[in-house]
Amino acid sequence: MKATIQKVPQRLGWSWRYKMLEEVVKPENWHVHQEFELVLHRNFQGKSRVAYFEGKIEHNQLLLIGPGVAHSFESLNSDEQNPCETHIIWFREEWIAQLMYSCAELRQLAPVIQNANKGLRFSTQTAEKVCQHLNDFNDLSPIGQLAVLIQILGELCADQSQITLSYASPGEREKTRGDFSKIAQVCEYIDSHYSSDITLMKLADYMHVSENTVHRWFIQHFNESYIVYLTKLRLNHASQLLTTTSQPISLIAEKVGYTNRSNFNRLFKKYKGTSPSLYRQNFK
């Protein structure tokens, strides 16, 4: 089964991403992405696949998966009173490499980072420590969250019980890099032109493929249509401008590609759950 390429959602102005999910049922989703993924499973009974490895998921399982390594997780239990809890931290290879280059203290991470392309499983003791670090994580300032992330990386270095899970052949990694290149080209074009009228036809012409091919890419790799992806990107940029500038909302709407203010307001409320003006007030 071919893994779908997943584009990890980025927080504008951030170098990495944290997300916590609570799910009664977690369906299998065989996928791959360019980021390292540190994932902690709690209240979880299920199965995992990391490249060629297949195994059980139990409470307090902590894994580190390298870029380009296909993986999936699936729950076998369904308990509304005690849902599966998944904590995920994504970070890019170039970002962690720069940190290790600049900070000698972090260079002991090198074996952990190198072995992540096989998948690493850490001890339940380390998993519990990481869970404690993540308590009230979203209430911290950006600098506070970064400090906690460095503490978590330190816990990974200190774990003497970590084990490797699998491997990915050079040929498979090269094929994955080729797929990433194609999707990255699409994303870079959209990132550079999101404020203009970039239709599906224009994007298809740029990539020298059919509109159906571009549509299929987005459904397969992003699990959403092109227009939904573009809308979310525009609204994320609008959110950043609302919280970091005092520019009029009408000007912000135009800057992110919406000439119709009422349409911008409608979409913003649909995806963000509040109006642009209230969103701005909440960050004052």
Per the CB < 8 A criterion, the answer to whether 226 and 233 are in contact is no
- What was the pLDDT predicted at 173? 52
pLDDT at residue 62, rounded to an integer? 95
Q: Within this chain, do residues 93 and 213 fall inside the same structural domain, yes or no?
A: no
The last residue of a domain, from among 164, 189, 217: 164
Instruction: Looking at the structure, tell me whether residues 46 and 146 fall in a common domain.
Output: yes
User: How far apart, in whole angstroms, are the C-alpha atoms of residue 103 and residue 15?
Assistant: 16
**Helix or strand or coil: residue 74?**
strand
Q: Could you tell me if 113 and 45 lie in one domain?
A: yes
Residues 19 and 149 occupy one common structural domain? yes
Which pair of tokens denotes residue 118?
A: 């096989």
Length of the chain: 284
* Per-residue pLDDT at 263: 95
Domain stop point among 130, 164, 198: 164
Report how far residue 102's alpha carbon sits from residue 33's, in angstroms, rounded to the nearest whole number. 26
The first and second tokens of residue 251, run together, are 């000007």
State which of 107, 139, 164 marks the end of a domain: 164
Domain count, the chain: 2
Domain of 51, CATH number, reads: 2.60.120.280
| 215 shares its domain with 256 | yes
Residues 6+ apart with CB under 8 A from 278: none
**pTM for this prediction:** 0.61
- For 142, the domain range is 14-164
Indicate if 29 and 60 belong to the same structural domain.
yes
Residues 159 and 263 placed together within one structural domain of the fold: no
> What residues are paired with 38 via a beta bridge?
64, 89
In a domain, 9, yes or no: no
In what side-by-side order are the strands of the sheet with 36-42? 16-23, 84-91, 36-42, 61-65, 120-122, 163-164
Own/partner long-range contacts of 221-227 (Cβ < 8 Å, ≥24 apart): 221/4, 221/5, 221/6, 221/7, 221/183, 222/6, 222/7, 223/4, 226/200, 227/200
Residues 6+ apart with CB under 8 A from 85: 20, 21, 22, 41, 42, 43, 44
Q: In what order do the strands lie in the sheet with 31-32?
A: 4-5, 31-32, 71-75, 46-50, 53-57
Query: How confident is the model at residue 88, as a pLDDT?
Result: 94
Q: What is the pLDDT along the chain (284 residues), one digit of tens a residue?
A: 556 656 666 665 567 899 998 887 777 778 888 889 999 999 888 888 888 788 888 889 999 999 888 888 888 766 677 788 899 999 988 888 888 877 888 888 888 988 888 889 999 999 999 999 999 898 888 889 999 999 999 999 999 999 888 755 555 555 555 555 677 788 888 888 999 999 999 999 999 999 998 888 887 777 688 999 899 889 988 988 998 899 999 999 999 999 999 999 999 999 888 999 998 887 66
Q: State residue 281's pLDDT score.
A: 85
Contact 185, 178 (CB under 8 A): no
